[in-house]
Amino acid sequence: MRIIRDTDPLDSSFIPDRLIARERELSIIKENVINPLREGITSPLWVYGYPGVGKTVTLKFLQKTVKSPRIIYENALSHGSIRAILTSMLSQLGRFIPPSGTTYKQIFTALRDLSAKSGTDFILVLDEASQLYRDMEGMYNLSRAGEIHGVLLSPIFISIDPPEVYSSFRERAGAMRMSTLKFNKYSSDELYFILKDRSESALNDGAYDDTILHYIAETSEPYGSARVAIETLQKAAFMAEYRNAESIEIEDVRGAVSLIDPYITESKLAELNAKDLVTLLAVCRLLRVSVSTDMKHIVPEIRSVMEAYPVVRNEFRVYDTVRRLERAGFVTSHVIGRGDRKGVSKVIQINDIPVSILSQKIESILSRMSA
Ligand SMILES: Nc1ncnc2c1ncn2[C@@H]1O[C@H](COP(=O)(O)OP(=O)(O)OP(=O)(O)O)[C@@H](O)[C@H]1O
Ligand SMILES: [Mg+2]
């Protein structure tokens, strides 16, 4: 290929050898969690910040570079409960325990055993953690692992919002004392250096120049997101490749920008609860065949979604979930008159992302939830 030498560094799961502009965050995590654990002190941490600001990659980078304590990474979206996360952690450590019917005592006994054998303590990274506070029993056991079960385990939660946002978090967490760490958006300069680093390893020399990288950094700056920047670079490179060009041009970048949706990410979906998700899926299904829909159609569609995914047990107010989806930027709505004296109705639309892609993402989360 003329433009791309190695596609891996442009992939979203790539973990680079060095992180740009995250020295402060790395040293805070070391000082507040890693070093204390080496002294036998557990200290839960809640990491938060906008999508694409490097939360996941920073923790995965630490996982790769720190040998003791041992850092285990789990994505909460793949599991329904903290118990399921902990059994998955155990299986990563080579110990199989069936998730159902297992007590926390059994889980932590196995962990204590593993810790004694290997001589290391554990940090458990729980990514996409915004729904976890609902699991009170799990939070309690996780936060008191040392006191109750005699296991040194420091949890690091990752989410978009700070813990206060999740209602009554403090009570639910069993008064868990946690420090917090905010990841800020990247500046245009920082995005430029991230792009420079990636293009050096991914692209052929001469296939791009600084103007292109600066231009991508500028278009991504409003989001402050390295994901948006790297994805733009990747798509622009593919477009140049596709037109058989010698190098990436500004026009390729423009094309790439138009293909990217900076808002609807997995971590944004992780913010939604089961009611929001079934409502959004119902809206998506209705919009597959029309440009807009309304409340009258959404309610019966939700019923059919719930037959496939029985994730909500109680009744709920669809108006509230729609309003929440609107505030989070997933749907837009406007009120229209229905003609003389017939009153008004609320029309709902999704404009920025193909509903088929969104449906697939939601369906996979719902099937995990209902498993
Ligand atoms: N400081 C950095 N240096 C190099 N690459 C980075 C840096 N920050 C982020 N990236 C890259 O940008 C992309 C997005 O980062 P990451 O997935 O960690 O964001 P996030 O904060 O977890 O976002 P989300 O909330 O959507 O999960 C990844 O491909 C990551 O490798
Ligand atoms: Mg992430």
Residues 292-329: pLDDT tens digits? 999 899 999 999 999 999 999 888 999 889 988 988 88
Q: Is the CB of 224 under 6 A from ligand 1?
A: no
10 pLDDT band, cuts 50/70/90, is very high
Q: What is the CATH number of domain 23-182?
A: 3.40.50.300
Q: Tokens 């309610």 map to which residue? A: 299
Tokens describing residue 356: 């088929």
CB environment 4-37: b (16+ within 10 A), e (fewer):
beeeebbeeebeeeebbbbeebbeebeebbbeeb
Burial of 228 (0-12, 13-18, 19+ CB in 10 A): buried
| Ligand 2 centroid from CA 52, angstroms | 7
- Which CATH code is given to the segment(s) 186-259? 1.10.8.60
- Our answer on whether the CB atom of 14 is closer than 6 Å to any ligand 1 atom is yes
Q: From the CB of 53, is ligand 1 less than 6 Å away? A: yes
Higher-confidence residue: 254 or 262? 254
Ligand 1 centre to CA of 307 (Å) is 36
CATH 3.40.50.300 region(s) of the chain? 23-182
pLDDT at 173 over 60: no
Q: Average model confidence (pLDDT) for the chain?
A: 90
pLDDT above 90: percentage of residues in the chain = 68
47-56, 277-286, 326-335: the lowest-pLDDT one: 326-335
% the chain with pLDDT above 70: 95
> Which amino acid makes up residue 70?
R
Q: At what angle do helices 104-118 and 136-143 cross, to 10 degrees?
A: 30
Residues 6 or more apart whose CB falls under 8 angstroms from that of 116 comprise none
Sort 85 into a burial class: Cβ within 10 Å, 0-12 / 13-18 / 19+.
buried
Handedness of CA 144, 153, 30, 92 (dihedral sign): negative
pLDDT at residue 342, as a whole number:
64
The rounded distance, in Å, linking the Cα atoms of 169 and 167 is 5
Residue 354 has pLDDT above 90, yes or no: no
Secondary structure E strands in 173-218 = 179-182
For residue 113, the CA-to-ligand 2 centroid distance in Å is 31
CATH 1.10.10.10 residue ranges for the chain? 272-370
Residue 341 has pLDDT above 70, yes or no: no
Residues of the chain with CATH 1.10.8.60: 186-259
Q: How confident is the model at residue 169 (pLDDT cuts 50, 70, 90)?
A: low
58 CA distance to ligand 2 middle (Å) = 9
At 339 the pLDDT is 66
Pocket test of ligand 1: the residue of 47, 57, 264 to mutate, having most ligand atoms within 8 Å of its CB, is 57
Which of these ranges, 149-163, 205-219, 246-260, 350-364, has the smallest mean pLDDT?
A: 350-364
d(CA 296, CA 302): 11
Average of per-residue pLDDT across 127-147: 87
Nearest residue by C-alpha to atom 13 in ligand 1: 227
Residue 195: HSE in the Cβ half-sphere, 13 Å Cα cutoff = 34
The CA angle 259-364-286, to the nearest 5 degrees, is 70
Above 80 in pLDDT, residue 85?
yes
Whether 9 lines ligand 1, by a CB cut-off of 6 Å, is no
Integer Cα distance of 358 and 353 in angstroms? 7
Q: Quick one: which ligand is closest to 268's CA?
A: 1
Average pLDDT over residues 18-37: 97
Of the bound ligands, which one is closest to the alpha carbon of residue 60? 1
Take residue 223 and report the two structure tokens written for it.
């989001």
CATH class of the domain comprising 272-370: mainly alpha
